[in-house]
Amino acid sequence: MASNSGVWGIEIGQAALKALRCTLKGDEIVAEAFDYIEYPKMLSQPEAEPAELIAEALEKFKERNDAGNYMVCMSVPGQSGLAKFFKPPPVEVKKVADLVRYEARQQIPFDLDDVVWDYQMMPGSTIEEGYALESEVGLFAMKREMVTRHLQPMDLAGIEVDLVQMAPMAIYNMLAYDRMHERIETEPFDVDAPPSSTVLLSIGTDTSDLIITNGFRIWQRSMPIGGNHFTRQLTKDLKLTFAKAEHLKRNAREAVDPKLIFQTMRPVFNDMVTEVQRSIGFFRSLNKKAEIKELLIAGNTVKMPGLAAYIGKNLGLDVHVLDRFNRLTGEDVLSIPTFRDNAPTFAVAYGLCLQGLGISQLKNSLVPREIVVQRIIRAKKPWAVAAVATLMTGMAVHYAFTQRSWAKTHPDVWSRATAAVENMSKYSSQHMSEDETRKSKLKYLDVLGQEVSSTSERRLQWLEILRALNATIPRTAYPDGKPPSPKELPFEDRQDIHITGIESKRFEDLATWFSEDVSLRYREEMRNLARFDKTLVPEDLTTVTGPTGPGWVFEMKGYHYFNSPKRMGSEGSNHVRRTLITNLLKLPIALPDKQGNIIPFLPEELGLRFPLLLNDDKPVLMKIPNPDFDPETMASPVGGIGGAAMVPGMTPGGAAAGGSGAAGGEKKEVVPPMLDVLRHDFIVQVVWQPNSLTERLLMREEKRKAAEEAEQAASEAGAMAAVGN
């Protein structure tokens, strides 16, 4: 709903709370008030308490500002929701809703009852004679529990939220109104010759949003890199506390050695440029005719000296900092130093205000329908109460007159019947109470029996999964369990994989782990794995859906030395794929059943799925201790014959060992204390959704029956074909 009295746009970020209040005066958007409340600690710091920090910031916001008499719009992070854009076939406009509902069931990987979702036709859609021809529809969704989680701090603070929008969509609303309004209002959209696109990189604290739009179409992606990555790099390399590293990052030019600061942060600069290049490249592969004109950067991280210039130089684009808004007026706010210094962070709040005022391109909202209905009822409640009060007054008057009439009759006429009814009512209530008591007891016994009967298998599951993970680790069976020396078997020829640590994390819904970035990485790894064994990879990777429901994710960190340059294509990550990843997909794992019989189970039967090699780094040359090295061979005793010092390779007579002056001397081979080897470090993750022994055997029996039925059907079909011939 639009508001002309004023709208608050509120973004609860990881580092600060940003709020902007705007109103519509004629055709102008006027900024009336703002607030920027920085937390004492960032929400993502390990020792921080996000709920307490957000509550304190909102309390401070309420003390400084009046939010009760204005419409409130808030944003949620882009990675917490889903935004999909699709082109429907030519269809009647009134049937678009049915088409979108069908598309929602295909695109949203959850039950629609568990999701808050909305849709909207994008600007530039062609509608003729009631038919949508060249159109594009945006589908926006978010899990209901996630929306509730983001609304909870506002509810606890007593601030009623009227509109919820994803941050990237709020940024698009800002761009469309502030920079592209003339194009949208006056130019028709031509699919074959689209206008130039603008890239906006909103750098957050932990993540960044990349939005590419020409005003009519949107493409967006959340990238797992933000301002905190620069701070963590300084913390790691310069051995600083997080607070000192953050201060040093913000004041790099005033540091004792600014060059050292920038050199330390250069890997993060490179990672950010790589992510942006990769995203823009993927966008161009989908939109061959798109032309990118400029790149805008938002967020307080743009204050880092040289960041904008570095990104522009490496991307070859005109880069501008989004530190002003062309169509936003209100000098009482825009001239305040605090607003000017933090203007790049108010793009989301500005976009929320535009939507609240009803002048944005996107008008969808992710406020749950039940909350909207509840507020409508609350608004009408005074009238309903008045109507009920009037009705009750009339009924009371009617009852009074009826009672006076009843008092004139003889109540003893109905006394026996009334007593019988009361006795029967008591009898019925007694039996109903007893029935409920027995039902509760039966339910308790059922739960107790199920718990007792299932414990025997469930308590062994962790022993089984640890044994399974241990079995998948490639090892070489050396005689007597002792590895040979590097002379007998060089490290580069050893196929062993060494695991340095295994960690696990439980997810209530594994879909949160299988994010868009993990999905892209998984498909890329499956294509790499297909070079070794195509039977392990589905023919169509686009149809693969990620895991859902509760489960665990194991993370295995390790390394190996099987990295000889002679094995081009079999070293590094390929060795991990060919051994460990392959084992996690198809290696039979022997486990005992209830009678002690050993039965091999495939990893998939145990619930192990989606093995994923997270990194694809190159092997690194490093030094390791030489097991053949003997420190005593390096000793050089002083005071030999004639007072000369003994050195390796010399005899007591002073001549070199093996020479004419070293009768009977033997030349010893110099064994270095350290060896130079190529070491490849890796991280592998795998999903585990436990299956008990009973479930595994039942699954195997069902597969066997299905195979027998298929074989029988095939034989019958062959017999029919033979009879026909």
CATH code for the domain of 357? 3.30.420.380
Q: What value does the mean pLDDT take over residues 403-416?
A: 66
pLDDT > 70? residue 406? no
At 632, is the pLDDT very low, low, confident or very high (cuts 50, 70, 90)? confident
In a domain, 511, yes or no: yes
- pLDDT score at 253: 75
In a domain, 634, yes or no: no
Same domain (yes/no): 15, 82: yes
CB-based contact 161:154 (threshold 8 Å): yes
Q: What value does the mean pLDDT take over residues 416-421?
A: 84
SS (H, E, C) 424-457: HHHHHHHHHHHHHHHHHHHHHHHHHHHHHHHHHH
Same domain (yes/no): 23, 103: yes
Alpha carbons within 13 angstroms on the beta-carbon side of residue 507 total 18
In a domain, 349, yes or no: yes
What percentage of the chain carries pLDDT values higher than 70? 91
In a domain, 281, yes or no: yes
Pairing mode, strands 82-86 and 197-203 = unpaired
In a domain, 658, yes or no: no
CB-based contact 339:188 (threshold 8 Å): no
- pLDDT score at 668: 62
C-alpha to C-alpha distance for 563 and 494, rounded to whole angstroms: 9
pLDDT > 80? residue 648? no
The CATH number that applies at residue 259 is: 3.30.420.40
C-alpha to C-alpha distance for 116 and 78, rounded to whole angstroms: 15
Alpha-carbon dihedral 101, 103, 108, 111, rounded to 10 degrees: 40
Judge residue 622's burial from the number of C-beta atoms within 10 Å of its C-beta, 0-12 exposed, 13-18 middle, 19 or more buried: middle
Same domain (yes/no): 468, 592: yes
Same domain (yes/no): 271, 314: yes
Residue 535 sits at φ, ψ, to 5 deg, of -70, -20
Pairing mode, strands 131-132 and 91-92 = antiparallel
Of 109, 57, 114, nearest to 84 by C-alpha is 109
Same domain (yes/no): 251, 274: yes
- pLDDT score at 405: 67
Q: Is the dihedral of CA 686, 577, 541, 82 positive or negative?
A: positive
C-alpha to C-alpha distance for 167 and 297, rounded to whole angstroms: 15
pLDDT > 90? residue 688? yes
Same domain (yes/no): 74, 152: yes
Q: Percent helix, strand, coil in the chain (nearest 5)? A: 45, 20, 30
pLDDT > 50? residue 148? yes
Q: Which amino acid is at 115?
A: V
What percentage of the chain carries pLDDT values higher than 90? 38
CB-based contact 19:352 (threshold 8 Å): no
Given 311, 345, 367, the domain boundary residue is 367
The Cα-based distances of 559 to 161, 574, 682 in angstroms read 51, 13, 6
In a domain, 376, yes or no: no
Q: Give kind and range of the element (H or E) at residue 36.
A: strand 28-38
Q: What value does the mean pLDDT take over residues 688-696?
A: 89
- pLDDT score at 663: 42
CB-based contact 404:398 (threshold 8 Å): no
**Domain with 505 in it:** 458-623+676-715
Q: What value does the mean pLDDT take over residues 404-433?
A: 79
C-alpha to C-alpha distance for 157 and 142, rounded to whole angstroms: 23
In this predicted model, what pLDDT tens digit does every residue of 553-582 receive, in sequence order?
A: 999 999 999 998 888 888 899 999 999 999
CB-based contact 293:198 (threshold 8 Å): yes
In a domain, 390, yes or no: no
Of 127, 125, 126, 107, nearest to 117 by C-alpha is 107
CB-based contact 85:123 (threshold 8 Å): no
In this predicted model, what pLDDT tens digit does every residue of 437-469 receive, in sequence order?
A: 999 999 888 877 766 655 567 778 888 899 999
In this predicted model, what pLDDT tens digit does every residue of 258-310 receive, in sequence order?
A: 788 888 888 888 898 999 999 999 998 988 888 898 999 998 888 887 888 88
For 360-376, give one letter per residue: b (16+ CB within 10 A) or e: bbbebbbbbeebeeeee
pLDDT > 80? residue 379? no
Overall number of domains in the chain: 3
Given 272, 298, 325, the domain boundary residue is 325
- pLDDT score at 390: 87
Same domain (yes/no): 151, 208: no
Beta strands in 456-564 (DSSP E): 498-507, 551-560
Number of CB atoms found within 10 A of residue 573's CB: 18
The Cα-based distances of 283 to 221, 287, 622 in angstroms read 10, 6, 39
Q: Where are the alpha helices (DSSP H) in 299-368?
A: 307-315, 331-334, 337-341, 347-356
pLDDT > 80? residue 670? no
- pLDDT score at 407: 58
C-alpha to C-alpha distance for 292 and 197, rounded to whole angstroms: 5
pLDDT > 70? residue 2? no
Q: Higher-confidence residue: 458 or 51?
A: 51
Of 93, 96, 22, 81, nearest to 359 by C-alpha is 22
Same domain (yes/no): 166, 211: no
pLDDT > 50? residue 646? no
> Three-state DSSP class for 323?
coil
Angle between helices 227-238 and 258-286 in degrees, nearest 10 = 140
Instruction: Tell which phi-psi region holds residue 479, choosing left (phi > 0), alpha (psi between -120 and 50) or beta.
Output: beta
Structure-token pair, residue 173: 């609303």
CB-based contact 469:502 (threshold 8 Å): yes
Same domain (yes/no): 168, 203: no
- pLDDT score at 640: 41
C-alpha to C-alpha distance for 674 and 624, rounded to whole angstroms: 5
Rounded to 5°, angle at Cα 391 from 387 and 393: 115
In this predicted model, what pLDDT tens digit does every residue of 191-211 receive, in sequence order?
A: 888 889 999 999 988 889 999
In this predicted model, what pLDDT tens digit does every residue of 309-325 receive, in sequence order?
A: 888 888 888 889 988 89
In this predicted model, what pLDDT tens digit does every residue of 201-241 receive, in sequence order?
A: 999 888 899 999 988 889 999 988 888 888 888 888 888 88
Same domain (yes/no): 583, 702: yes
In a domain, 652, yes or no: no
What is the secondary structure of 621-650 as a DSSP string? EEEEE-TT--GGGG---S--GGGPPP-TTB
Whether pTM > 0.85 for this model: the answer is: no
- pLDDT score at 98: 86
**Residues ≥6 apart with Cβ < 8 Å to 691:** 605, 606, 607, 699
CB-based contact 170:10 (threshold 8 Å): no
Same domain (yes/no): 173, 245: no
Same domain (yes/no): 91, 223: no
Number of CB atoms found within 10 A of residue 25's CB: 12
In this predicted model, what pLDDT tens digit does every residue of 164-193 receive, in sequence order?
A: 999 999 999 999 999 898 888 888 888 888
Mean pLDDT of the chain: 85
Q: Chain centroid to CA 178: how far?
A: 30
